[in-house]
């Protein structure tokens, strides 16, 4: 499984950062089906056993389970509640 905190999103390391994502996992998860149902393209996705293209350069890894991940980029001065509102606003209301 991917670690969402291994990514460097830039900026000084002594500044607090807010990272927010919606992550859905499951051995039988079909990311394409979920994308079609939600109408939102994931930031990262894969089926169990497929190559994980977001792994470290030069390192080959496979998805341990199916994954559909949508990460939201937020400014460093964004309040957590506002970031959550932005995340939910990106998702369909009837899904």
What's the token pair of residue 10? 């830039």
User: Hey, is 9 helix, strand or coil?
Assistant: coil
- Kindly calculate the radius of gyration of the chain based on its CA atoms and give it in whole angstroms: 15
pTM here is: 0.74
Q: State the average pLDDT for the chain.
A: 82
User: Hey, is 10 helix, strand or coil?
Assistant: coil
List the one residue out of 94, 89, 87 whose CA is nearest residue 73: 87
Summarised one tens digit per residue, pLDDT across range 1-38 is: 545 445 555 555 555 677 889 999 999 999 999 999 99
Q: Do 42 and 69 touch, CB atoms closer than 8 A?
A: yes
């Amino acid at each position: 499984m991917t670690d969402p905190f291994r990514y460097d999103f830039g900026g000084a390391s002594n500044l607090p950062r807010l990272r927010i994502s919606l992550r859905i996992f499951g051995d039988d998860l079909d990311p394409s089906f979920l994308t079609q149902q939600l109408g939102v393209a994931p930031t990262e996705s894969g089926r169990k056993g497929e190559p994980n293209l977001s792994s470290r350069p030069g390192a080959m890894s496979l998805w341990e389970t199916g994954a559909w991940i949508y990460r939201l980029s937020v400014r460093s001065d964004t309040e957590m509640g506002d970031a959550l509102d932005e995340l939910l606003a990106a998702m369909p209301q009837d899904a």
